[in-house]
C-alpha cells in the first residue's frame, strides 16, 4: 500500500482525490495547504486527519511514498 500526500487542496486536488476511490494500492495519508479553510474542508471531505500548512514538516513527519503537487503552476 502506497502512502500518498497532497500539496494543495483546491479544485484540482479534489479531482485527484476523487480518483483514489479506484486505487487499490494507494491511500491519501496527509495533506498540505497554506489556506487552512481549504485544508480543513478537503480533509473533512476525504477523511484525512493528518493536515499541515508547512510542506517540510509534512514530508518529515509523514514520509509519503508519493507526493501529488496540485497547485497552480505559478506557485510551483
d(CA 72, CA 47): 23
56 grid coordinates: 517540510
pLDDT band at 74 (very low <50, low <70, confident <90, very high): low
Based on the structure, what is the number of domains in the chain?
1
Q: Mean pLDDT, to the nearest integer, of 62-70? A: 97
**pLDDT for the residue 75:** 62
Q: What is the CATH number of the domain that holds 32?
A: 3.40.50.720
**pLDDT for the residue 21:** 84
Q: What percent of the chain has pLDDT over 90?
A: 82
Q: Burial letters for 46-73: b for 16+ Cβ neighbours within 10 Å, e otherwise?
A: bebebbbeeeeebbeebebeebbebbee
Range of the domain at 10: 2-75
At residue 37, φ and ψ (nearest 5 deg) are: -65, -50
Amino acid at each position: 500500500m502506497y502512502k500518498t500526500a497532497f500539496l494543495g487542496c483546491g479544485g484540482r486536488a479534489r479531482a485527484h482525490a476523487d480518483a483514489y476511490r479506484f486505487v487499490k494500492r494507494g491511500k491519501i495519508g496527509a495533506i498540505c495547504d497554506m489556506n487552512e479553510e481549504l485544508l480543513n474542508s478537503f480533509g473533512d471531505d476525504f477523511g484525512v486527519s493528518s493536515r499541515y500548512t508547512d510542506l517540510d514538516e509534512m514530508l518529515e513527519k509523514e514520509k509519503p511514498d508519493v507526493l501529488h503537487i496540485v497547485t497552480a503552476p505559478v506557485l510551483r
